[in-house]
Amino acid sequence: MKRFIPSHNKEKHKMNKAKRKAIIAGNWKMNKTPSETTAFVKELAPVVKDAECEVVICVPFVDLQNAVEAAKGTNIHVGAENLHWKESGAYTGEISAAMLCDLGVEYVVIGHSERRQYFAETDETVNLRTLKALEKGLTPIVCVGETLEERETGKTEEVLKRQITVGLKGVEDLTKLVIAYEPVWAIGTGKTATPAMAQEVHAAIRKILADTFGAEVAEKMQILYGGSMKPENADALLAEKDIDGGLIGGAALKADSFVALIESASKAL
């Protein structure tokens, strides 16, 4: 795989965006075995070693140990896809924050639309998980976003405000977490918001954060786009001033496409 050379032309981004480091985070969902994980990281690491954005892979629980081991000494950060808010106990099938930390995990995805849709995740449980992750020193990637019905009935901002105010209640330092906007109607469907549409919602999220937690905090926060970002649309999406990276699904499962997204994010800095 050809190694990219990151761009250093940052003239058009000498605005507030320049203060926020871009993040490209892969969300593998229920894909890849431990051995496949090791091979993927070994292929990826030498290619992205000069990336100017943060490179994160969020992998299934069974892949975490392999991912952390393979990523040692590289600039690749490893995240989990969920955690439980209790320290320990009779919660069959769940994983605690302490378990993740002991493995060397740094990030964790919380409140993904699939968790909300299939596993009864609520804004309140998102809040509990987020607080526990922060308590243990993990960086939560907190997902928010509206369904197609909510969008078509003009409830996008109402939904986002509820998810943010409830999901982040009690958080003392919001700069220690990341927001990912994922329009539910674009998850796994191949549909993508246009860059202008995505920017409009990202700006609305930043305004909600400013109104709730203060403008200074809002300007520092990284807001990722999580709606089917791929190499074909990444440059245009990442050029928008309030889009600070991507939470990547399908395009994160192949090294070539994931590298292309990392390259786009590095150019956008």
**C-alpha–C-alpha distance, residues 267 and 269, integer Å:** 6
Name the one residue in this structure whose structure tokens are 């990444």. Answer: 234
Query: Which value, in Å, is the radius of gyration of the alpha carbons in the chain?
Result: 17
Clarify whether 202 is annotated catalytic. no
How many alpha carbons lie under 13 Å from residue 89 in its C-beta half-sphere? 6
Is residue 163 within 8 A of residue 144, CB to CB? The reply is: yes
**C-alpha–C-alpha distance, residues 186 and 209, integer Å:** 23
Is residue 110 within 8 A of residue 83, CB to CB? The reply is: yes
- Catalytic member of 54, 112, 150, 202: 112
Beta bridge partners of 54: 23
Six-digit token string for 170: 């009690």
Clarify whether 11 is annotated catalytic. no
- Catalytic member of 54, 114, 146, 182: 182
Q: Which residues are catalytic?
A: 112, 182
